[in-house]
């Protein structure tokens, strides 16, 4: 039986561009080879072809209309060995990166978030990294993010499925075949949802505390960025600021440490810093990714929203670190963010009744003025950026302070 079918499909083995067929018809022809029950080598070839299609906009648009094919692709991507799941999983990553595909994907397979989640958190699953990456892409949009959140709640009744996700993220070697860096952005996206933040910030548990050391995770910008994004989102919850800044969590040193360089502070200044920032070695590197640096500064900025938060941030010597960062920072837009935070730290306290910066009502005219200023600032940054790109040499000289 196998032999005959092999003969039968031989001409179709070259699933490449066939002349007279429309692209839609061609894609539809792939379906039988991709579907479960097909021979593994044919599945692999079909998946490879689909993967190639997902690399281009028109290819993805084409696939968006093929619900059955998408369903088969999902089935294959989560199918256990010996099915060739990896290319199908990669194709899903590409598709999920395109927000235009989210609706077709979820329509074709409403259980997609749950199925990917199961694979991403399966310690034995060889394609868990792809599953996590597809989830990270999917969860960027509100609707799939909500679906993922629902899947997490359903996955582990009683105990939050988020705990499993955090565990996988915080346990080195959780899956020997996948580092699961992409769980960082997954968590970051999830933390936009109040329910996720409520879990992360549950004072009766130890969740956010376990994430903190990952702000220094050396091996992956993706993981670091995801964790820092998660922490920043958590910092919007000003009711939790006191707890976050207090001894039970002590979040500030973990936000400041990646921003700190190898500066040698005086003994007196050193004593004012949190222990984690004291006596850093001369080869201490700052966070290399400017976007992550910016998020770290923004997170600290959020923590200064309340009067007591500002006090706690000031007391822990944040200014010293930011001062040094500011004189070092090569990226204009990060430097601007840094300046704003420094202004809050060294500026006067706001008037009575306006202490909580996250709750202050901004009058419309003031808001418009501020937006105008933001635009100017943005333009200024872009100009600087352009100047730097056009004339890197003199610019480098100009940026003398090292």
Partner 1 sequence: MEGPELEAISDDAMDSFLEKFQSQPYRGGFNEDQWEEEFEKIPLFMKKTPSEIDPKENPDLACLQSIIFDEERSPEEQAKTYKDEGNDYFKEKDYAKAVISYSEGLKKKCEDADLNAVLYTNRAAAQYYLGNIRSALNDVTAARKLKPCHLKAIVRGALCHLELKNFAEALNWCDEGLQVDAKEKKLLEMRAKADKLKRTEQRDIRKAKVKEKKEQNQNKALLHAIKARNIRLVSEAASEDEDSASEDLGELFLDGLSSENPYGARLSVDDQGRLSWPVLFLYPEYAQSDFISTFHEDSRFIDHLMVMFGEMPSWDSEQKYCPDNLEVYFEDEDRAELYRVPPKSTLLQVLQHPRYFVKALTPAFLVCVGSSPFCRNYLQGRKVHQVK
Q: Which residues contribute to the site for partner 1 (CB under 8 A)?
A: 159, 163, 167, 170, 204-206, 209-210, 247-248, 250, 253, 275-276, 278-281
Instruction: Report the candidate in 379, 260, 400 with the shortest Cα–Cα distance to residue 320.
Output: 260
For residues 91 and 280, which CB has a smaller minimum distance to partner 1 in the complex?
280
DSSP letters spanning 164-198? HHHHHHHSTTSBTTB--TTHHHHHHHHTTSHHHHH
For residues 78 and 259, which CB has a smaller minimum distance to partner 1 in the complex?
259
Q: Please, what is the minimum distance in Å from the beta carbon of residue 229 to partner 1?
A: 23
Sign of CA dihedral 221, 222, 227, 233: positive
Q: Please, what is the minimum distance in Å from the beta carbon of residue 203 to partner 1?
A: 9
Q: Please, what is the minimum distance in Å from the beta carbon of residue 154 to partner 1?
A: 19
For residues 218 and 281, which CB has a smaller minimum distance to partner 1 in the complex?
281
Residues 226/183, Cβ–Cβ less than 8 Å: yes
Local structure of 291: helix, strand or coil? helix
Place of tokens 């190639």: 52
Cα–Cα dist 69/56, whole Å: 17
For residues 225 and 253, which CB has a smaller minimum distance to partner 1 in the complex?
253
Q: Please, what is the minimum distance in Å from the beta carbon of residue 315 to partner 1?
A: 17
Residues 116/125, Cβ–Cβ less than 8 Å: no
Cα–Cα dist 139/352, whole Å: 40
Q: Please, what is the minimum distance in Å from the beta carbon of residue 35 to partner 1?
A: 40
Q: Tell me 201's DSSP state.
A: T
For residues 65 and 203, which CB has a smaller minimum distance to partner 1 in the complex?
203
Whole-number Cα distances in Å, 15 to 21, 43, 80: 12, 11, 24
For residue 211, give every residue at least 6 positions away whose Cβ sits within 8 Å of its Cβ, in sequence order, or none.
166, 169, 170, 187, 200, 227, 230, 231
For residues 163 and 291, which CB has a smaller minimum distance to partner 1 in the complex?
163
For residues 70 and 318, which CB has a smaller minimum distance to partner 1 in the complex?
318
Q: Please, what is the minimum distance in Å from the beta carbon of residue 381 to partner 1?
A: 36
Q: Please, what is the minimum distance in Å from the beta carbon of residue 160 to partner 1?
A: 9
C-alpha 71, offset from chain centre: 26
Q: Please, what is the minimum distance in Å from the beta carbon of residue 227 to partner 1?
A: 16
For residues 145 and 280, which CB has a smaller minimum distance to partner 1 in the complex?
280
């Amino acid at each position: 039986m196998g032999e005959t079918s092999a003969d039968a499909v031989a001409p179709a083995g070259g699933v490449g561009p066939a002349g007279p067929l429309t692209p839609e018809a061609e894609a539809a022809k792939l379906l039988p080879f991709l579907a479960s029950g097909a021979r593994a080598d044919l599945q692999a070839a079909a998946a490879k072809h689909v993967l190639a299609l997902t690399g281009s906009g028109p290819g993805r648009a084409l696939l968006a209309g093929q619900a059955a094919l998408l369903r088969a692709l999902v089935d294959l991507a989560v199918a256990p060995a010996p099915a060739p799941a990896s290319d199908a999983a990669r194709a899903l990553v590409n598709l999920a990166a395109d927000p235009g595909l989210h609706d077709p994907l979820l329509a074709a397979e409403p259980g997609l978030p749950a199925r990917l989640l199961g694979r991403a958190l399966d310690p034995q699953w060889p394609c868990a990294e792809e599953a996590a990456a597809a989830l990270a892409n999917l969860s960027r949009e509100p609707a799939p993010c909500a679906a993922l959140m629902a899947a997490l709640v359903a996955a582990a009744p009683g105990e939050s499925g988020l705990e499993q996700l955090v565990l996988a993220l915080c346990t080195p070697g959780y899956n020997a075949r996948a580092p699961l860096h992409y769980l960082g952005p997954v968590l970051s996206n999830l933390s936009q949802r109040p329910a996720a933040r409520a879990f992360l910030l549950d004072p009766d548990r130890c969740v956010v505390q376990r994430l903190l050391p990952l702000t220094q995770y050396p091996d992956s910008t993706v993981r670091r960025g995801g964790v820092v994004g998660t922490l920043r989102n958590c910092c919007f919850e000003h009711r939790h600021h006191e707890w976050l800044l207090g001894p039970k969590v002590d979040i500030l040193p973990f936000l400041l440490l990646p921003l700190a360089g190898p500066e040698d502070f005086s003994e007196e200044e050193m004593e004012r810093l949190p222990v984690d920032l004291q006596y850093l070695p001369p080869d201490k590197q700052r966070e290399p990714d400017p976007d992550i640096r910016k998020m770290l500064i923004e997170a600290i900025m959020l923590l200064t929203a309340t009067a007591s938060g500002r006090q706690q941030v000031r007391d822990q010597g944040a200014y010293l670190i930011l001062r040094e960062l500011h004189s070092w920072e090569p990226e204009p837009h990060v430097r601007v963010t840094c300046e704003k935070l420094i202004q809050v730290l060294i500026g006067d306290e706001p008037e009575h009744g306006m202490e909580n910066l996250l709750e202050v009502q901004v009058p419309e005219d003031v808001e418009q003025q501020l937006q105008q200023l933001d635009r100017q600032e943005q333009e200024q940054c872009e100009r600087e950026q352009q100047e730097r790109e056009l004339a890197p040499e003199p610019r480098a000289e100009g940026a003398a302070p090292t």
